[in-house]
Chain A
Amino acid sequence: MTGVLILEQALNGLQFGLMLFLLAAGLTLVFGIMDMINLAHGSLYMVGAYLVAAATAASGSFWLGLAAGVAGAALFGVLLELTVLRRLYQRDHLAQVLGTFAILLMCNEAVRFIWGSQPVLLSPPESLAGPVELLPGFYYPAYRLLIIGVGLAVALLLWGLITRTRLGMQVRAGASNREMALAMGTNVRVLFTALFGLGAALCAVAGGMLGPLLAVQVGMGESILILAFVVIVIGGIGSVRGALLGALLVGVVDTAGRTLIPMAFGALLGPEAADNAGPAVASILIYVLMAAVLFWKPKGLFPSHG
Chain B
Amino acid sequence: MAETPLDSATPRRGLLDPALSLRWSVPLLAVLLAFPFLAPLVGGDFYLGLAARILIFALAATSLNLILGFGGMVSFGHAAFIGVGAYTVGVLAQAGIDSAWIVWPAAMLVAALFAGVIGAISLRTQGVYFIMITLAFAQMLYYLAVSFKAYGGDDGLPLPGRSQLGLGLDLADDRTFYYATLLLATLALILVWRLLNARFGHVLQAIRENETRMEAIGFAVYRFKLTAFVIAGALAGLAGALLANLGSFVSPSMMQWNQSGLLMVMVILGGVGHLWGGVIGAVVFLLLEEVLSGYTLYWQFLLGAVLLAVVLAAPNGLMSLLRRKDTA
Contact = CB atoms under 8 A, between A and B. Distances in A.
Nearest to B317: A98
Interface in B296-316: 298-301, 303-308, 310-312, 316
A98 B139 contact: no
Contact of A104 (B137, B143, B149, B304): B304
B50 interface: no
B131 to A, nearest CB: 9
A113 B301 contact: yes
A52 B308 CA distance: 28
A108 interface: yes
A274 B239 CA distance: 33
A287 interface: yes
B128 interface: yes
Contacts of A103: 304, 308
Contact of A108 (B148, B257, B300, B306): B300
A281 B328 CA distance: 55
Given A109-B304, A283-B139, A291-B136, A98 B147 contact: no
B269 A98 contact: yes
A290 to B, nearest CB: 6
Contact of B128 (A94, A237, A272, A276): A237
B129 A233 contact: yes
A290 B137 CA distance: 11
A75 interface: no
B272 A280 contact: no
Nearest to A230: B132
B265 A298 contact: no
Contact of B265 (A97, A106, A233, A277): A97
Contact of B257 (A226, A233, A284, A299): A226
B268 interface: yes
Interface in B236-291: 257-258, 261, 264-265, 268-269, 272
A99, A109, A298, A299: residue with the most chain B Cβ atoms closer than 10 Å: A109
Given A95-B268, A112-B298, A276 B311 contact: no
B157 interface: no
Given A99-B308, A102-B304, A112-B298, A298 B129 contact: yes
A229 interface: yes
B74 interface: yes
Interface string A254-298: 000000000000000000100011011101100110110010001
A180 interface: no
B144 interface: yes
B128 A102 contact: no
B151 to A, nearest CB: 11
B133 A276 contact: no
A259 B301 CA distance: 39
A76 interface: no
B191 interface: no
A88 B308 CA distance: 11
A94 B65 CA distance: 12
Contacts of B139: 226, 283-284, 287
Contacts of A87: 312
A97 B300 contact: no
B147 A280 contact: yes
A95 B317 CA distance: 9
A102 to B, nearest CB: 4
A287 B74 CA distance: 18
Contact of A106 (B147, B149, B308): B308
B134 to A, nearest CB: 11
Contacts of B149: 272, 276
Interface string A219-260: 000100010011001000100000000000000000000000
Contacts of A298: 125, 129
B301 to A, nearest CB: 4
B301 A105 contact: yes
Given A87-B312, A97-B268, A233-B129, A283 B143 contact: yes
Contacts of A105: 300-301, 303-304, 307
A21 B5 CA distance: 54
Contact of A94 (B74, B147, B258): B74
A95 B298 CA distance: 24
Interface in B126-170: 128-129, 132-133, 135-137, 139-140, 143-144, 146-149, 153
A101 interface: yes
Interface of B: 68, 74, 125, 128-129, 132-133, 135-137, 139-140, 143-144, 146-149, 153, 257-258, 261, 264-265, 268-269, 272, 298-301, 303-308, 310-312, 316
6 closest A-B pairs by beta carbon, nearest first, are: A105-B304, A280-B147, A109-B301, A102-B307, A106-B304, A287-B136
30 contacts: A97-B261, A98-B269, A98-B307, A98-B311, A99-B311, A99-B312, A101-B265, A102-B305, A102-B308, A102-B311, A103-B304, A106-B300, A106-B304, A113-B298, A113-B301, A226-B139, A229-B135, A233-B129, A272-B149, A276-B148, A276-B149, A279-B146, A280-B144, A281-B143, A284-B140, A284-B143, A287-B136, A291-B133, A291-B136, A294-B133
